[in-house]
Structure 1
Amino acid sequence: MQNSLHRGQRHWCSTGDVSTTIYPTVVLPNRTLIAEKGSTIYFRCFTLSYPSHQLNLTFSGALTNITSLASTALPRLEYSIVNIQPRSQGVYTCSALTTVSNRRVDNSTELLVYYIPSKHPDCMFVQAQDTSSVQLNCSWFGAYPTPKLRWGEDGDFQVTNSLSLTLNSSMLHDKQKVTCTALHKLLKQENQKSCSITLRAPFPEGKPLVTVLEGTNLTLTCSENTSLPPANTTWRKGQNQDLIVSGSRYILSFEGPAVKLTIVNISKDDERNYFCRSENALGVRELEVYLTVKTSSSVYTGTVIGVFIAALIVGSAFIVVKVLYSRRHTICLGGGFMQAEDSGDVLDLVDSDDEQIFHDTVPQLPPLANGRHTTLVQIHRIPSSEDHEDTETAGTDPQPPEQKEEPTEEAEDLVSF
């Protein structure tokens, strides 16, 4: 018979059996007790025999041979074990020895200490050269008794502390989550411990376009650190994607997740496509890198062309600024940008406060039929440079000025308000 113990619960390992008055009877039961690590357990053995007897409680464990724990000449013996540890697991025996017949009676019970590790199971990949499948392993060491482990949701639990799983590539997809669950007698159903692995397809990263000068050395870098299981990454070249191996012309090096390809003494023949190829059980991804090789003459020509274009841009900007500055007086905010220079007609406006003066000084036309007045506004022309030259010429001309004719009503420029 088994009896489970819980932390902090007091348990007496005894029964109500009685004995005759001649031979002692030990009431420590012949059964198996289960206690959780860190709990407390109590032993009690006694006898009703007469005359008096000697009681002894001994322990036989894995690390300790039979060791006396307690002894008393009284008909009752009590003993407690506080903060039970795995080393407390073993067989406890209570012995009674009569003083008259010198006869001994033993009764034993086995104590099992259950415990589990505080951490969750450990899920990991098993490295393999074959990329057609994935091998996973789930382990949970440090539990007693041996736990039960299961991969997935539909599988069966197996009594083991390490469980492997192999999945074919046809059963896998990107971001697939695989879970390992552990069961134990100390774990309730809602407190199951587990670990998970999320599978990921490879994704190599690097620069897709590279330009280098002929005769120099170049290092191409490709990084791939997101795939699970870890992908196998290689460098290839040309449209046929020939595998590149280390040698005098090509040097391959690995720095963490980065795979570097160094090309020594680059020539024009090295101008081609290069491929960084990463592969795992979930698929193959490639990073295509196009290498452009420049010669020294092309670099010189490019420099000259660049300087010429820069000078052309600067000169054009200078000319535009100069033209704008020379014609700055022709820019009007309300009449458009850069109007013609001969637009010299100006309309004289009078502020509203001088409205009465304006009506007194400006000639008024006769009222119309509806009784409204019409105001006459004279248009003056700003003299231009040509008019100024005409004036100077007229000053030197001895001919008298021509007699101006009175403007007629048809010749007068009128503006009605």
Structure 2
Amino acid sequence: MKRRTLVAVCVFATVAVWASDSPVSTTSEPGSPSESTAVTAAPGDIVILPCYSKDSVRPSRTRWLKDGSELGELRASEAVSGEGDGGQRRLVILEDGSLKFQTVAGGDEGVYLCEATLPGSMTWRARVVLQVANVPARHPECSWHLEADSAEMRFSCSWPGCYPDPMLIWSQVQDANHESGGFVLASEVASVLQVSLNRSLLAKGHTLRCVAQHLKLTTGQKRTCSLTLAMPHPEVSPLVWAQKGSNVTLVCTEASSAPPANTTWSRAPRGAPLAPGAKYALSQDGAAYSLTIVNVGWDDEGDYFCQSENPLALRQTEVYLSIRASTDYTGAIVGVFIATLIVGLSAVVAKLLFANRHRICLGGPFGPLESDRSDVLSLVDSDEEQIFQAAPRLPPIADARPTAMVQIHRLPSGEQEDAGNQSAREEPQQLVTL
């Protein structure tokens, strides 16, 4: 009977040694004679890692290793660390060889190996994987990715470093200011949750929110991330000029799209994107998408379209490229010269007109004005009133009845108005009695 017991103990020890040399496993197979278990705890919990638990046999000696490094030969009265409230031992080995954590802390997670010496100098080995629950202080990460089909978008929510896996919930709300509610798209206990949506399910201004729930999060604590949708809005200059034979660059700016839009250049509305090559060079600098046309010619003149597409919509804007030859500059110079000449001639004519303004006002614009005279009628009363300036006094009339008289004389021209011109003043007068 003793021989059978000894053989059984040897078999168990051999299996345990084989299990300790195998890769680390976080699960144990039911019915396995070796100990390979996984223990999950949260910071602050009391945890016991089991060692030998067969037939209530107490090991005579126990040694614990963590990730291949020995913790030390401890008994219940010894401790790895004396840290804790009131000097309480945080880590001790019990009489049955189990390792007890008075308070689990961050950093205690790992693979623990127990080597116990049983009666008869037999060795028992057990492996325990300790996993400590962890809730990262940061929020989950939300991202989006374009599918092969431009009408599809994949949204991803991840919370790395969290243990055990949280409950992730994707929902869609119409207003980002609403903390709750909305339509639930998907939910799962996992570290990463992805959901694919068609363009028909998305709308401008809607918000997709990922909420992470964990057993270690207290009431009121929230871990969320969100994405607010916005349509693309490409912007370009409507008209660009280029000289034949030169290189020209067309720039399109698109920074408002959410999710980010796929921006391309084409020659036709909703046409195939232009491919880079010897003729076209494509580049991107942040939100600016540039198209450089090399050695432009007459065939390059026309409309170019900047297209931006995301799952919400496809928007495009148009720019017209105008090509001009080098002779256009000569024509511009000639035009400037002619305009300057016209302005100069106008100034000369205006000066001449101003210098001869008295001739233009009193007579014709051309030729001498000496022969151009005007007849002036002066109406005077029969009373002894004097006629204008040099007109001689009229003799009295025998008839006492008042008589209106008209004196006709000629006024001298501009040059004859000089006070020294005596011949003009001695011109005979004509009187008409009315």
Quick one: which of 306, 319, 323 aligns to 1:293? 323
TM-score after normalising by structure 2: 0.52
Residues 278, 284 of structure 1: 8 Å contact kept? yes
What corresponds to 2:236 in structure 1? 206
What corresponds to 1:148 in structure 2? 167
What corresponds to 2:227 in structure 1? 197
Q: Quick one: distance in 1 between partners of 2:244 and 2:426?
A: 86
Q: Quick one: distance in 1 between partners of 2:307 and 2:169?
A: 35
Residues 215, 266 of structure 1: 8 Å contact kept? yes
Residues 58, 69 of structure 1: 8 Å contact kept? yes
1:218 aligns with 2:260: no
What corresponds to 1:160 in structure 2? 190
What corresponds to 1:268 in structure 2? 298
> Alpha carbons of 1:111 and 1:136: their partners in 2 closer, same or farther (altered >3 Å)?
closer
* Amino-acid identity (%): 30
The one-letter amino acid paired with 2:152 is S
Residues 141, 159 of structure 2: 8 Å contact kept? yes
The one-letter amino acid paired with 1:142 is G
Q: How does 1:214-293 map to 2 (within 5 A)?
A: 214-238=244-268, 241=271, 243-248=273-278, 250-256=279-285, 257-293=287-323
Residue 203 of structure 1: CA displacement?
2.0
> Alpha carbons of 1:133 and 1:326: their partners in 2 closer, same or farther (altered >3 Å)?
farther
**Does the residue aligned with 1:189 lie in a helix, a strand or coil?**
coil
**Does the residue aligned with 1:86 lie in a helix, a strand or coil?**
coil
> Alpha carbons of 1:398 and 1:232: their partners in 2 closer, same or farther (altered >3 Å)?
closer
Residues 281, 293 of structure 2: 8 Å contact kept? no
Residues 35, 114 of structure 1: 8 Å contact kept? yes
> Alpha carbons of 1:274 and 1:196: their partners in 2 closer, same or farther (altered >3 Å)?
same
Residues 166, 190 of structure 2: 8 Å contact kept? yes
The Cα offsets for residues 21-77 of structure 1, whole Å up to 9 and x where unpaired, read as xxxxxxxxxxx99553xx59799xxxxxxxxxxxx999786776775555449xxx9
Residues 108, 130 of structure 2: 8 Å contact kept? no
Residue 223 of structure 1: CA displacement?
3.0
The Cα offsets for residues 369-389 of structure 1, whole Å up to 9 and x where unpaired, read as xxxxxxxxxxxxxxxx97995
The one-letter amino acid paired with 1:194 is T
**Does the residue aligned with 1:298 lie in a helix, a strand or coil?**
helix
Residues 238, 272 of structure 1: 8 Å contact kept? no
The one-letter amino acid paired with 2:303 is N
Residues 85, 113 of structure 1: 8 Å contact kept? yes
TM-score after normalising by structure 1: 0.54
Q: Quick one: distance in 1 between partners of 2:146 and 2:68?
A: 39
Q: How does 1:327-406 map to 2 (within 5 A)?
A: 389=417, 391-393=419-421
**Does the residue aligned with 2:89 lie in a helix, a strand or coil?**
strand
Residue 182 of structure 1: CA displacement?
0.6
> Alpha carbons of 1:59 and 1:84: their partners in 2 closer, same or farther (altered >3 Å)?
farther
Residues 200, 226 of structure 1: 8 Å contact kept? yes
> Alpha carbons of 1:320 and 1:179: their partners in 2 closer, same or farther (altered >3 Å)?
farther
Residues 42, 80 of structure 1: 8 Å contact kept? no
What corresponds to 1:177 in structure 2? 207
1:309 aligns with 2:309: no
Greater mean alpha carbon deviation, residues 291-300 or residues 192-201? 291-300
The one-letter amino acid paired with 1:263 is I
Structure 1 residue ranges without an equivalent (≥5) = 1-31, 44-55, 94-109, 328-384, 400-417
Q: Quick one: distance in 1 between partners of 2:248 and 2:258?
A: 30
| Aligned positions, number | 281
> Alpha carbons of 1:304 and 1:198: their partners in 2 closer, same or farther (altered >3 Å)?
same
Residue 85 of structure 1: CA displacement?
1.9
Residues 41, 104 of structure 2: 8 Å contact kept? no
Q: Quick one: distance in 2 between partners of 1:118 and 1:279?
A: 36
The one-letter amino acid paired with 1:206 is V
> Alpha carbons of 1:63 and 1:146: their partners in 2 closer, same or farther (altered >3 Å)?
farther
Greater mean alpha carbon deviation, residues 159-168 or residues 221-230? 221-230
Residue 171 of structure 1: CA displacement?
0.8
What corresponds to 2:151 in structure 1? 132
What corresponds to 2:108 in structure 1? 87
**Does the residue aligned with 1:306 lie in a helix, a strand or coil?**
helix
The Cα offsets for residues 332-386 of structure 1, whole Å up to 9 and x where unpaired, read as xxxxxxxxxxxxxxxxxxxxxxxxxxxxxxxxxxxxxxxxxxxxxxxxxxxxx97
Residue 126 of structure 1: CA displacement?
2.5
Residue 210 of structure 1: CA displacement?
0.8
Q: Quick one: distance in 1 between partners of 2:169 and 2:309?
A: 29
